[in-house]
Structure 1
Amino acid sequence: MPFVKANTHSLHYSDSHPDGPPTPNGLTFLFIHGLGSSQNYYFPVIPHLTSKHRCVTIDTYGSARSAYTNDPISIPGIAADAIAVLDELKISKAVVVGHSMGGLTVTEIGSRYPDRVLGVVAIGPTHPSEMLVTVMSKRSETVLETGMESMANSIPSAAVGSRSTPLHKAFIRELLLGQDPKGYAALCRAISTAQPADYAAVQAPFLLIAGEEDKSASMEGCEHIFQNVSSKNKSLEVLKGVGHWHCIEAADEVGSLIAQLADGIVV
């Protein structure tokens, strides 16, 4: 399995075109998943991009195949790892795509590392709040006591929208069961202690994709993020009947929206 060194972490990754984008005007995308997920979350979406663009997906530190080694985790730390991945793969600039916790991360990257970013796609990004602190603190305690079964038995039904299917729920369940409880708990703590990114510092082309029925990333939070980014080229798209697992519940719509953003970016 391919791994890339990111600071002190060894991250499992996949790269659709290791030699660079397959077309002269092609872009490179870096995909960052959310809590309890993996790079596989994006595989229903990336076929909309790979005929023109390079797509790099990673398992963030402590998730899936990127082993948790007891290092503390923070959102700025995940962002720094993402930049280290770009460095290791000799990618000067990329469109960064993030879901949920990854949405927090890509806004952080957009504000802290603007010279490395061609565009920002935030899918169901979580905006820090007191409720988020409470939910994440409880989850951390639960998985350390009982393992991932409790999350796998509840989240696939509770966090999706009315359009979801049994196959969608099975995919989400498998993603959750593939997590190390200690890594998952550490990521919960990273989310609970996160501070909002400097949204006003995000100036790259910006796409925010929200789920109409998302109970985890509130529409209020999504609108706050969208209103405060400074990007002149920005769009907020709301997917009807979709909950919090957008790339599984509405893969073709998400893929098409990202492809449209790419078409408007001039390298």
Structure 2
Amino acid sequence: MPFATINGHSLHYTDIGPASSSSSSPSSPSPHTLIFVHGLGSTQNYYFPIFPFLTSYRCIIFDNYGAGRSPFQAGTETSIPSIASDVLGLLSHLGVDKAIVLGYSMGGMVPTYLASMSPDRVEAGICIGPVHPSEAVASVFKQRVPTVQAQGMESMANTIPNAATGPATTALQKAFIREMLLAQSPEGYCANCRAIELATPPEYANVRCPMLIIAGDQDKSAPLAGCQMIFDQLGTAPERKRLHVLKGIGHWHCVEAPDEVGRFVKQFVEQL
């Protein structure tokens, strides 16, 4: 299992080279490099269901600091800016100057944050169910902290797979979500809850690169209205941004509808 120490964080990552290369080495030429940032309660495994659509590209996936296999250490910052800094640090560590940044849920704030703050490092952004910071959102995630501190991750694993998915989600898909939740350390999960609670909206108007937003019409965690608001505020030219809505899909898009998400991402990248 490869780990990289980035900004003092030990990050577990996977670096997948394009399948068209005879060696499939991560360093083999690829027309685009994509880096994936997962959301609260998930891991890099969240994205693997869509990778069959992205075999032509270099894909870099990592467990956020304090999530999955990336260990949490008390006293270290966890915030949207720190996650974004880890993205840039990991790209530099792997010799990548510029990438397509793809983020989901909490991680969905990172593409717009980086596109507005470090535009020279972002070729394009893809936001899947992006969370828009607000007082209501802050309250929801603030309330989760004492619950997890008292009851552990089982409190989330026993509720989220049913409450945050669409009506067609299968038992197997819910089991996968449950397993990702149980892979979290309570301390890391709470730190990431606080990162959402304290987050401020990215400067959407300063985003100029091509952008894709994918939303679920049954998503209660990142409602369609919020995704539409983000889309409308982006400074990207109208012809360079897209909003796709998945019908009947909740908040776990790549698990609930991997074929739809994979096709939308592939089409967007092919058009860059």
Cα shift at 1:141: 1.2
Cα shift at 1:20: 3.2
Cα shift at 1:231: 1.3
Cα shift at 1:22: 4.8
Higher mean alpha-carbon deviation, 128-137 vs 31-40, is at 128-137
Note if 1:184 corresponds to 2:189: yes
Note if 1:134 corresponds to 2:139: yes
**Partner-residue secondary structure (3-state), 1:231:** coil
Question: What is the aligned counterpart of 2:101 among 86, 96, 100?
Answer: 96
**Partner-residue secondary structure (3-state), 1:43:** helix
Structure 1 segments, 4+ long, off by >2 Å, are 18-23
Q: Is the 2:217–2:223 Cα contact (8 Å) retained in structure 1? A: no
What's the C-alpha RMSD, in Å, of the aligned pairs? 1.0
1:117 is matched with 122
> For residues 21 and 131 of structure 1, what CA distance do their matches in structure 2 show?
45
Structure 2 residues without counterparts, runs of 5 or longer: 18-24
2:67 is matched with 63
Q: Is the 1:124–1:211 Cα contact (8 Å) retained in structure 2? A: yes
**Partner-residue secondary structure (3-state), 2:168:** coil
**Partner-residue secondary structure (3-state), 2:159:** helix
Higher mean alpha-carbon deviation, 239-248 vs 110-119, is at 110-119
> For residues 85 and 132 of structure 1, what CA distance do their matches in structure 2 show?
29
TM-score calculated relative to the size of structure 1:
0.96
- 2:16 maps to a residue whose letter is S
- 2:129 maps to a residue whose letter is G
> For residues 30 and 211 of structure 1, what CA distance do their matches in structure 2 show?
22
- 1:209 maps to a residue whose letter is I
* Aligned CA distance change for structure 1 residues 217 and 21 (closer, same or farther; 3 Å): farther
> For residues 163 and 4 of structure 1, what CA distance do their matches in structure 2 show?
38
> For residues 101 and 264 of structure 1, what CA distance do their matches in structure 2 show?
26
Note if 1:247 corresponds to 2:254: yes
Q: Is the 1:161–1:214 Cα contact (8 Å) retained in structure 2? A: yes
- 2:264 maps to a residue whose letter is L
- 2:2 maps to a residue whose letter is P
Q: Is the 1:21–1:28 Cα contact (8 Å) retained in structure 2? A: no
The count of residues paired between Structure 1 and Structure 2 equals 262
Note if 1:54 corresponds to 2:58: yes
1:8 is matched with 8
